[in-house]
Each structure stands twice: as C-alpha cells, then as structure tokens.
Amino acid sequence: MSAAGEVVTFKRGSLEKEVTAVPSHTMFEVVETSGGVIEVRSDDFILAPGFIDDLEEGDRMPMAGDVIIRANGDRFETMRGPGGHYWVWGDGRQTQIRVYTKRRGPSEPSE
C-alpha cells in the first residue's frame, strides 16, 4: 500500500532540503495548568527517516524550530505532540516518521 506524497521544503536554520511528505493530522487533548482540557490539532507530515541525514546542524530527527513549507507557500513549524515529542515513528517497522507541526501562515519572503 502506498500514499500520494507531495514535495515540501524542510528548513532548519539556513539549511533547506526538498523531501516528499504525506500530509495528515492528529487530534489530541492537553491538560492546562488550571486542570481544564483543550483539544489540539497538529498538522502532521509523514516522511521517510534519514531525510535529514545530510543536514550538518543539530539532531538528525525533527526538533524545535524546524519548518516545513508546502509548495503553495503554507509554513508549518514543529510542535510538541502527544507525549511531548516533535515526532514519532509512523509504523512498527520504523520506515516512516510522523512530524507534528502547527500552521504559521504563508512562507516568509526570501532575504
């Protein structure tokens, strides 16, 4: 079984890489310090692990501050998902990762 993907740009600092990703989403609950529960939606991207191996900066998996930009210019920044992680394995064989993100608007203009 396969899913259709799209080419997105993964950014970490000044480094960029085009990768194929499958858009998805996750709904989860967060308990506030007041004890209230809010429902949160994460706009996820499912990617092959190792896509980041040739980036020379930081961790080899998604982390705080990483950005994914879709071809239409929509910009997504990594966020903590369920369990406080920025990503999780997407399958039992560890052939995919699910990256949790939040839409932050259109891409910033190039400098």
**Measured at the alpha carbon of residue 53, what is the angle toward residues 47 and 57, in degrees to the nearest 5?**
115
User: pLDDT per residue over 7-63, tens digit each?
Assistant: 999 998 888 889 999 999 999 888 888 989 989 889 999 998 877 766 655 577 889
Q: Which of 81, 76, 83, 84 is nearest to 102 (CA)?
A: 76
Does a structural domain hold residue 1? Answer: no
Domain housing 85: 6-106
pTM (predicted TM-score): 0.82
User: pLDDT per residue over 53-93, tens digit each?
Assistant: 666 555 778 899 999 999 999 999 999 988 889 999 988 88
- Residue 108 has what pLDDT? 63
Number of domains in the chain: 1
Does a structural domain hold residue 111? Answer: no
Estimate to the nearest angstrom the gap between the alpha carbon of 33 and the chain centroid: 26
